[in-house]
Structure 1
Amino acid sequence: MLLRAAVMACVLLAVVAVLTGCTAAAPVPSGGSAPAPSAPSAPSAPSAPPAPSASSSPGGVTKVLVIVVENHSFDQMRAQMPYTFGLATTFGYATRYTAIRHPSLPNYVALVGGQTYGIADDGGPSANAIRSGMSVFGQAIAAGRTAALFAEGMPGNCALANGGDRYVVKHNPWAYFAAERSLCTRFDVPIENLAATIATGTLPTVGMVVPNLCNDAHDCPLGTADAWIRGWMEKLFAGPDWASGHLAVLITADENDDSPGNTVLTVVVHPSQAAHVVATPLSHYSVTRLLEDVAGAPHLFGAASAPSLSTAFALPIGAAH
């Protein structure tokens, strides 16, 4: 009997040991960590960060930055620039915005001068010098405001000839206003100056950004231009001028691809805009007018009769400073 009891006790102790071993956690070596799961799930692909949404309390616009791409129609830009068109649908865009004519240079001059000054080709400043006219840049400075043009690839301030990294002077309209050459030499600068200007909240009242021949989609795909715009817009969204609610960014094209109508996509990015689609007929002269309104300057030539972009988008104009 004693022997049988001892055997039964041993059996019970063995069963308890087995059960305890099944439920206890595996020991972790000293100074180590628990083993990883044997079949970890694959991480999901990162998603693109969304553009900032419209603010409920935007400030009045006291600074405008115009970014110009090249030679593509509204439909091409909408289909091939997903980030830029995402900004359009988040903020606002115009469906009936037209360039002035072909080729490039007359459109750039029209944007900042209110007329083409009879220019009908892409010749340099020596052939197409505007000797007595005033640009919106000069107007802003004369009114006590600030102005700047940031040109990618430009080898030096206000370069009057092609060179550098795919820089072409026909996309730098300030270089053609001979009477403002001293101002151009000071404030028409390589794009390397732009990042610090954004970071310090010192963007000008009237500003323009012109990419080089690749990043403006002249020589490279629209997707390249879209990625380039995204890089700069992310910097702008992180800067104090955007945070203040006083910065508006316009993205447009100088002209379309020679298809009928010369219609281009024009995007208005400002906290006052929320999925705002505007069907008012607008043009480059509407941008001239907006820049002058923000600078507190009189309207030049075609800008005087152009439909108001600020009215069309209900864009609040703040007190210029």
Structure 2
Amino acid sequence: MTTSTPGPTDQYATRHNPFVYFESITRSPDCAANVVNFDRLAGDLESVATTPNLAYITPNLCNDGHDSPCADGQPGGLETSDGWLRRNVPAVLDSSAFKQDGMLVITFDESEAKTTGPSGVAGGTGGGRIGALVLSPFTRAGTASAVADNHFSLLASIEDMSSLPRLGYAGAPGVHAFGSDVFNLRR
């Protein structure tokens, strides 16, 4: 079984889940208990106590807008991706854990650029301009940042918020973590 090519019944792609590439995670006995299917999130969101400190959600290759049409015959593309977001984002935003101190980042991953960007990080600044939404009780609605962040910036931000050392390219010189350009609303 491959986890890079979608089939009609399983459209999951390992390459979209960076955590399974860290041996310190996959070797941990907690991995099987904590790297779980998305359908478990609804129950976790029922209270602050059961909501994980970090939930990394990556839709399958159909719901992420990548494939069009999808392997199971759905239309795919942005139409299917938008529908997935409309069905799932409200549950996160309505949860007590999100309202307390949450952050939901919706971003995209497609790029063909293979250059070194201004930060000197291999892969450049994420391969060009892609969209990202940061929703949080600490971010004013309508905020727009002119800072050139990338996927390593997101990882660095998560690591900094969790008081963890920066891994891989997140620790490269010039990688910007989210700051007052994103978190601009005091509570």
The TM-score normalised by the length of structure 2 is 0.73
1:175 is aligned to 2:17: no
Which residue number corresponds to residue 275 of structure 1?
Answer: 142
Tell which structure's C-alpha radius of gyration is larger.
1
Aligned to 1:218: 66
Question: Are residues 1:239 and 2:105 paired?
Answer: no
Identify unmatched segments of 5+ residues in structure 1.
1-123, 125-158
* Pair 1:290–1:317, CA change in 2 (3 A): farther
- Kindly, what percent of the aligned residue pairs are identical? 28
Distance 1:212 1:317, change over 3 A: farther
Paired residue for 1:249? 104
SS at match of 2:57: strand
State yes or no: 1:313 paired with 2:167.
Answer: no
Map 1:280-295 onto structure 2 (within 5 A): 280-295=147-162
Structure 1 consecutive aligned stretches of length 4 or more whose deviation exceeds 4 Å = 159-164, 315-318
Q: Secondary structure at the match of 1:286?
A: helix
Equivalent positions of 1:143-182 (< 5 A) are 165-181=10-26, 182=28
Cα distance, 1:224 vs. partner?
Answer: 1.1
Q: Which amino acid aligns with 2:37?
A: P
**Larger fraction in strand:** 1
Tell me by how many angstroms 1:316 deviates: 7.0
In 2, Cα distance between the equivalents of 1:270 and 1:214? 27
Counterparts of 1:176 and 1:259 in 2: how far apart (Å)? 22
Q: Does 1:193 align with 2:40?
A: yes
Say how many residue pairs are matched. 159
8 A contact 2:106–2:134 mirrored in 1: yes
In the alignment, structure 2 segments of 5+ residues that lack a partner are 68-75, 115-126
Kindly provide the amino acid, as one letter, of the partner of residue 36 in structure 2.
V
Aligned to 1:33: none
Look up the SS of the partner of 1:207 in the other structure.
coil
Between structures 1 and 2, the one with greater helix share: 1
Return the structure number with greater relative CO, CA threshold 8 A, min gap 6: 1
Q: Is the 8 A contact 1:160 1:175 kept in 2?
A: no
